[in-house]
Structure 1
Amino acid sequence: MEPIVVISILGGLILLVLFMGAPMRPVRFIGQGLVKIMIGALLLFFLNAFGTTLGLNIPINLVTSTISGFLGVPGIAALVIIDTFILG
């Protein structure tokens, strides 16, 4: 596809959103959720980096990142407790 066509389509979509108004609440909700999941993955990375001396290793996947991202420090504590005592 020609670059001018792609730019024209994107420009038209932007104008359409500006004039009609986008449902910003769902878009903002999804964006905030993705940011929290990425922050949760980053927190788990640091936990794994510094927790290896204590024998802590929490896998970084979508479920654990979501738990640690949305719940924060209590979520990470819950994951550590589950890993230590239940999966032990």
Structure 2
Amino acid sequence: MNLDLIIAGIVGILLLYMVLKILKLPIKILINGIVGMVTLNIINYFGSYIGITLVVNIWTSLISGFLGLPGVILVFIYSIFI
């Protein structure tokens, strides 16, 4: 095998590793946001049958979007005490 191909393969693998490491945090934030919004909407949909609703505004959306499921739980606990 040619030495140039081996070096190119190693460089390609290292570049792929670095790109995936850089994109790890934005992908995690995106997944947390999706999980938070879906959970917030599910609680509002099914909670309306038993009288539990969460107000969806900019603050609850940001909290549940950044924190994901723990953010929705935090908003839910906050709404109980208010």
TM-score (structure 2 length as normaliser): 0.60
Report what 1:63 is aligned to: 63
User: Structure 1 pair 51/45, CA: closer, same or farther in 2 (3 Å)?
Assistant: same
Runs (5+) with no aligned partner, structure 2? 1-11
8 Å CA contact retained: 1:44, 1:65: no
Bigger RCO of structures 1 and 2 (CA < 8 A, at least 6 apart): 2
The 1:19–1:78 alpha-carbon spacing in structure 2 relative to 1, beyond 3 Å, is closer
Counterpart Cα distance in 2 of 1:61 and 1:82: 14
Identify the residue that residue 4 of structure 1 maps to in structure 2: none
- Distance in 2 of aligned mates of 1:79 and 1:37: 14
| Gaps in structure 1 of 5+ consecutive residues | 1-17
1:35: Cα distance to partner? 1.2
**Equivalent residues in 2 for 1:3-14, closer than 5 Å:** none
Residue 24 of structure 1, CA deviation: 2.3
Larger radius of gyration: 2
Instruction: Please show how residues 71-82 of structure 1 align to structure 2 within 5 Å.
Output: 72=69, 74-82=70-78
Aligned CA RMSD, in angstroms, stands at 2.4
Q: What fraction of aligned residue pairs are identical, expressed as a percent?
A: 20
CA distance in 2, matches of 1:25, 1:79: 31
Residue 24 of structure 2 corresponds to 28
